[in-house]
Structure 1
Amino acid sequence: MANSSDKISITICGDGGCGKSSITLRLVRSQWIHEYDPTIEDSYSVTRTIDGLPYFLSITDTAGQEEYRGLWTTSTLKSDAFLLVYDITNPDSLGALDYFMELIDMEADQREEDNERLLRELGPSAQGVDVGMPPPVKIVAGNKCDLKQGRAVGARDGLEYARRHGCGFMETSAREMVNIEETFARMLSIPRCGV
């Protein structure tokens, strides 16, 4: 997905209370917060080495509450990758991803149109050259997989949702540190042209 000198922008989105901030803080600070404090928008940065290459991750943790969704900015949609988080104990949180998926898909379509226009403008000399912004990488994460007794969304349902939307899929637990590093590593290893 990137050269070692690249800065990778990642936006984390999903319904309120699904654990977006917990996932982010586990990755960035190796800490878990058990109190729920609604996020409006927070930004973090961290460097991770994946397959021997250093990556500088610029992470935006977005608001999940419906009243804050209008704050999604154009710069948020310009991210290289999106982590769409739902809570496996709350089936409504999986459906809430539709809102974010629609915005991301519209951005991907716009990038494709812009890239085609740029190729036309550059003419034959641009044949075989990558121009413009590639489509964003998308991973769906079913969070709180440590809460097995409260599970309301099966892993198969999450995987099917991800497949329908052309996304990668992981189940995570910020509390137990399950698949946190692995999810971000997978995000960086997916080719920018899709899953």
Structure 2
Amino acid sequence: MAGKSGMTMYKLVVLGDGGVGKTALTIQLCLNHFVETYDPTIEDSYRKQVVIDQQSCMLEVLDTAGQEEYTALRDQWIRDGEGFLLVYSISSRSSFARIKRFHQQIQRVKDSIPNAINSASPLGSPVLSSSSSNPTPIPIMLVGNKSDRVTEREVSTQEGMKLAQELDCQFVEASAKNCVNVEKAFYDVVRMLRNQRKNSIRPKLSSFNRNTDNTHNHKTVDKDRYQKPRKCVIL
């Protein structure tokens, strides 16, 4: 998606159980500081201009609620998202156990939009889905947060790697507190999205060249339908 400035935008959604550090990771990335206190989030949106692999882009990061009562809202967050971070705490076995449920929800929501076109690129790229009709994997990063809590670890690195392989996603352990692998977690999702956009644009260009009568219909979405409590833009 191209923002108002013409800069490419990537919509990333951070999912995971409550208290695993989703907000801490997001604020460390966008505001460069660590949040010590836990304040349960419903929905916070942040934007930050970054340079990834010598290319400038805008990240829109949606920090979401992990509580079960927000499952319906989570469906909409997933529909709007392009790439996802699934976060658990290495010091919480229960948060690790819930990762599959969040992953299943992503699959269910994305697979329920057959043949849909999102605004990921000027030419329009297909909704990212790993269903049989669209084998393109959804860009997902599994993040084992709070890696600084070495003595409190309940989930091993090997377990995280094994789950990532099972879910067909990438994996990293991070520490929002010590700012370890925070950028990597988000930036690698952007890299996945970039690769998929490149691959989706090539066949569309070939098809356009073969048929000059093709037209491009652009549909806009009423963004005011879904109110967002807070938004922070960092340039």
Question: Per the shorter chain, which TM-score range?
Answer: 0.7 to 0.9
Q: Deviations over 1:99-140 (max 9, x none)?
A: 2111111234345x316xx8xxxxxxxxxx985323331010
Q: Which amino acid aligns with 1:90?
A: S
Aligned residue number for residue 123 of structure 1: none
Give the SS at the match of 2:144. strand
Q: Aligned equivalents of 1:156 and 1:130: distance in 2?
A: 38
Give the SS at the match of 1:192. helix
Q: CA 1:70/1:32 → structure 2, altered by over 3 Å: closer, same or farther?
A: same
Q: Does 2:127 match 1:133?
A: yes
Runs of 4+ in 1 over 4 A off after TM superposition: none
TM-score by length of 1: 0.84
Aligned match of 2:184 in 171, 182, 185? 182
Q: Aligned equivalents of 2:35 and 2:161: distance in 1?
A: 27
Q: Aligned equivalents of 1:163 and 1:32: distance in 2?
A: 30
Q: Which amino acid aligns with 1:170?
A: V
RMSD: 2.5
Aligned residue number for residue 196 of structure 2: 192
Aligned match of 1:11 in 7, 10, 13? 13
Q: Which runs of no fewer than 5 residues in structure 1 stay unpaired?
A: 119-128
Identity value in percent: 32
**1:141-180 alignment to 2 at 5 Å?**
141-180=143-182
Alignment size in residue pairs = 181
Q: CA 1:75/1:149 → structure 2, altered by over 3 Å: closer, same or farther?
A: closer
| Structure of larger gyration radius | 2
Aligned residue number for residue 59 of structure 1: 61
TM-score by length of 2: 0.70
Q: Does 2:115 match 1:114?
A: yes
Give the SS at the match of 1:59. strand
Q: Which runs of no fewer than 5 residues in structure 2 stay unpaired?
A: 118-122, 130-137, 198-235
Q: CA 1:9/1:131 → structure 2, altered by over 3 Å: closer, same or farther?
A: closer
The offset of 1:182, in angstroms, is 1.3
Aligned residue number for residue 69 of structure 1: 71
The offset of 1:78, in angstroms, is 2.9
Q: Deviations over 1:139-175 (max 9, x none)?
A: 1000000000000000110111111111110100000
Q: Aligned equivalents of 2:159 and 2:77: distance in 1?
A: 31
Aligned residue number for residue 45 of structure 1: 47
